[in-house]
Amino acid sequence: MSEINYDQMSDQELRQYFLEHKNDQPALQAYLQRRNKQRRQVITKVGDPDFDLKIEKAIKSKLESRINRQL
């Protein structure tokens, strides 16, 4: 069996590969390392008076972007 090069896979390919090979621990590690390197956007902070509104807006935006990608 040949070695799998996770670095050559796109994020989506690596995610899909891991979902299909859940016992592949190196694939899980590669996926988690890649996810941890990605920047995370701070949407709001606890105590912000517009906390709920900002969270709802972020969720709506994420859902719309997923729908647009599927089209």
Q: Domains of the chain: which residue ranges?
A: 1-40, 42-71
pLDDT tens, residue by residue, 5-63? 999 999 999 999 999 999 999 999 999 999 999 888 889 999 999 999 999 999 999 99
Q: Number of C-alpha atoms within 13 angstroms, CB side, residue 15?
A: 5
Average pLDDT in the 60-67 region? Answer: 90
The predicted model scores a pTM of 0.56
In one-letter notation, the amino acid at residue 66 is R
Residue with tokens 């390392």: 33
